[in-house]
Chains A and B, each alone.
Chain A
Amino acid sequence: MLLGPDKIKALVEQVLAHSRADQTEVLVLGGETALTRFANSHIHQNVAERNVQVRVRAVVGRRVGVASVNDLGEAALRQVAEQALEIARRQPENPGFSSLPGPRALLPAEAFVAATADCTPEQRAQAVASICKLSKDTGLVASGAFTTSSTEVAVANSLGVWAYAPSTYADLSAVIMAEDGSGYSGMTACDVREIDAESVAVKAVDKALRSRGPSAIEPGAYTVILEEDAVAEMLSYLSYLGFSALAVQDGRSFMAGHLGEHITGENVSIWDDGLDPSGLPCPFDFEGMPKQRVDLIQRGVAQGVVYDSYTALKEGKQSTGHALPAPNPAGPLPGNLFMQAGHSSKARMLASVERGVWVTRFHYVNPVHSLKTVLTGMTRDGTFWIEKGEITRPIKNLRFTQSVLEALSCVRAISAETRLRPVFYGGVRVPALCIERFTFSGVTQF
């Protein structure tokens, strides 16, 4: 059960009252999370957590200290305010820091669904049971995880900022294992009632059945169809590498010096929008600043990056509402990415490929060269060979080493349908892509 806005407001006012800093910010992160995990077609791990954390940022001149606590007793709240102040005092000034942000109007973004918050262990177990049953009936082995959570975020500061928003989250994923193959499917939503366990099971089982008996292909550059999970992961890394104003200011971003220029394909547009209800909406960031829609790449042109108050003030701009919890030396990050849909479909894309590879998702992706946006990673859980417009056989998993911007420069087709997928920070809604040329640098043994 969440504390709610009244209790949290009383809590933050208590902390602000204790603070003797020039400026003070109080960030409250709380909630309950539960996860039912299964492997070998049975539930093997099943967990729940309740936590509330209070983070205090104290400003003394141009010095900033942060302290946090998850004990909500009065003594602890007084101490955390004092600790943040003490830390702020005991350091040299940072000339780059100006001020905490002042209040700005917020627009609503509904992301709380009671059904998700009220989801029980039995309900999660029943969903898992349906996946396990279908797998066993088909001679396969099920694994996966079903998460439901309810969280609340509140931000207040001594300049008058006050923001509170509850949210819920549900995610079900399944990896179904055959003797020598595997298939994956997943679903994400704010509303647990949108999670269709049977649909997840059917798709993952189908992929697993079709993945049996894979053969190897030679590494090389191929036309690929990337399903939404693969596109989402690629996009999240592109974002991490270069969509932050801090990365641009440091000269570490592929966007630096190229705003207004073509950096990738003209059929590629990417933006961040925390208010879009088809994502995982969130009305404000961790400084209580309103989420702004930011066009990052528009028709292949580098358009903009995201800011928090620290990076914005350095350029005389306003925060775009993308701050992470302080202290955050890594800078602001998009958390609600969208890629423009097209007009095609996965079926039509498949029919158009003479020779190529179908990729369900990637595994263990990591940057190899940040400025050139080169990533490496493996395919996983459903990788197939395409010949003359049809999937003809499963293939052994491949390692790719590929520049994301170069890949997005040769997108042959984009699906009209998009899917919401979770990534390491936030959610992304993306289409499937048919990419003319994608480099696989290695192959594994399965």
Chain B
Amino acid sequence: MKELAERALNSAQLQGATYADVRIIRRNTQSIVLKNGHVEGLAQDEDQGLGVRVVVNGAWGFASSSLLTHEEATRVAGLAAEIARASSLVKAGDVDLGAPEVHVARYETQVQVDPFSVSLDEKIALLLAADAEMRRVKGIAITEGSMEFLREIKLFASTEGSFIEQEFVESGAGIEATAVGENEMQTRSFPNSFGRHPGKAGYELVRDLQLVENGARIATEAVALLGAPQCPSGVTTVILDGSQLALQVHESCGHPTELDRVLGYEASYAGTSFLTLEKRGSFRYGSPLVNIYADATIPGALGSFGFDDEGVPAQRSPLIQNGIFVGYLTSRETAAMHGERSNGTMRADGWNRIPIIRMTNINLEPGDWELDDLIADTDDGIYMAVNKSWSIDDKRLNFQFGTQLAYEIKQGKLGRMLKNATYTGITPDFWDSCDAICSARHWRIWGLPNCGKGQPGQTAHVAHGAAPARFRNVRVGVM
């Protein structure tokens, strides 16, 4: 791979590149899907390729190919240069990456059990056992379970002299039970919704999930939800569980702090951001309890790595401190515009995509409440758990979420189960109403494997740490 990378970089320079980088990636994925007690999908995918990014005539070009030969590396570098020259026909100024980033390093995910060494028999047996637990419950129409494993070997090299080899391993699993009634359908997932909870970890993550132990519980809840009353409409106090709060952080903090969005780079698709440049350092994003930070160094978290896809080291950066907006997620180019260095959040979804600013692990600092005490302290409200639906506007202000599960809180006690719970708000008003966050004992990191952004579309694997928290005067029951 090293010689191939050197060939690509040399070719790019011969074509006039003042900067070039290359990523050569080999990715193996294994996915297993069970449904109603049978294997519905079992696949093993191998994918490889190289992508060359260049600056020629002060503008960007990128080309990529699945063919890993020297001739193809030369062709791809040449095409990237041609594309950059075309870009320069409609440019505003020359690309400025700031000070060079030069790193020679190797990084690999620390795992206890290589997931690819675990037999299919064992994996299928675990999913079948969890499936059986769900199907024990009368009234369940559909049971699903899935696992997905990934190994990615990535080489990054640049004309500045970086040469970084990284090997990532990801593991994830989840189960889901669906009950279907008269014009009603309710689903409960574990440990999280939308397929699975993943991390940068080995098979030990799956073994620790306790899928079998939770199968009957979620199935029972799905059936109970069919007959539960509809979430009432009104304005009330809401306590969100950690998994739902993780998605709230993702949509209403992670995305608007992406500096490329702020600068208009994503205007044609995902949108821009309300956290405009003049707000940094002074805008009240939330109550003083709210502290949110990015950290790509957390072991086991899905959004962790050694170096980003510009070769910048993984690091921790504050985004919201004591409720005040203080920081962005940046790239070399966007950081240089403000005389700063990148905080290492440029990530590409494979060899055939350019790196763009993405979340890493975006976490809400825990507080000091115990969940039982928080509920006991709440006179009237709703506890909502596990995401079911999500939507937010293109500046990341007006949002609406739905959860799978909800309970009334009356006089400090959890009461009736509620179905089809939804809540909506405007981002800074919502976070300003946060008056309690649970402690580190209730804090965990949730992997989110389906964050979409960019054209052509890219999917990023990110994560969010959160503990349950309380919010006042929230509009609920939109549907």
Which chain A residues have a beta carbon within 8 Å of chain B's beta carbons?
33-53, 63-72, 76, 80, 83-84, 87-88, 90-92, 94-96, 120-122, 124-126, 128-129, 132, 141, 143-145, 147, 173-175, 177, 182, 250-252, 326-329, 363-372, 374, 376-378, 380, 397, 399, 401, 441-446
Residue of B nearest to A372 (CB): B183
Does B47 contact A48, Cβ atoms closer than 8 Å?
A: no
CB-defined A-B contacts under 8 Å, sample of 16: A39-B266, A41-B92, A46-B83, A47-B64, A47-B83, A65-B42, A67-B46, A92-B124, A145-B455, A147-B456, A329-B144, A367-B389, A368-B389, A370-B185, A401-B400, A446-B393
A67–B271 CA distance with the chains assembled, in angstroms: 37
| Residue of B whose beta carbon sits closest to that of A37 | B455
Residues of B within 8 A of A50 (CB): 64-67
B386: shortest Cβ distance to chain A, in Å? 15
**Hey, which chain A residues are within 8 Å of B402, CB to CB?**
368
Q: Which residue of chain B is the closest to A49 with respect to CB atoms? A: B352
A127 CB to closest chain B CB (Å) equals 10
**B83 and A364 form a contact (CB under 8 A):** no
B45 in contact with A68 (CB, 8 Å): yes
- B395 contact from A64, A365, A444, Cβ within 8 A: A444
Q: Are B86 and A444 in contact (CB under 8 A)?
A: no
Q: Do residues B46 and A91 form an inter-chain contact, with CB atoms below 8 A?
A: no
Q: Assess the A376–B389 pair: CB atoms within 8 A.
A: yes
Q: How far is the CB of A241 from chain B (nearest CB, A)?
A: 11
Closest to A66 in B: B43
Q: Give every chain A residue within 8 A of B397 (Cβ-Cβ).
A: 444-446
B141–A250 CB distance below 8 A: yes
Query: Judging by beta carbons under 8 Å apart, are B42 and A70 in contact?
Result: no
Return B27 CB to nearest CB of chain A, in Å: 10
Complex Cα–Cα for A306 and B327 (A): 49
Please measure, in the bound complex, the distance between the C-alpha atom of A43 and the C-alpha atom of B400, giving whole angstroms. 33
Central interface residue in A46, A182, A364, by most chain B CB within 10 Å = A46
Q: Which of B10-25 contact A (CB under 8 A)?
A: none
Give the complex CA separation of A67 and B28 in angstroms. Answer: 10
Chain B contacts for A376, CB-based, 8 A: 389, 391, 400, 478
Using a Cβ cutoff of 8 Å, how many contacts connect chains A and B?
270
In the complex, per-residue mask of B406-417: 1 if CB is within 8 Å of any chain A CB, else 0: 000000000000
Given A122-B86, A250-B180, output 17 extra A-B contacts at Cβ < 8 Å: A40-B264, A44-B60, A46-B87, A50-B64, A51-B352, A68-B44, A94-B39, A121-B82, A122-B89, A144-B268, A174-B268, A250-B178, A251-B185, A370-B185, A376-B389, A377-B391, A378-B394
A65 to B84, alpha carbons, bound, how many Å? Answer: 42
- Does B426 have its Cβ within 8 Å of any Cβ on chain A? yes
- Interface residue B49 (Cβ < 8 Å from any Cβ of A): yes
The residues of A that contact B3 with a CB separation of less than 8 Å are: none
Mask, B272-310, CB within 8 Å of A = 1, is 001000000000000000000000000000000000000
Give every chain B residue within 8 A of A126 (Cβ-Cβ): 89
Contact check, A67 vs B86: say whether CB atoms are below 8 A apart: no
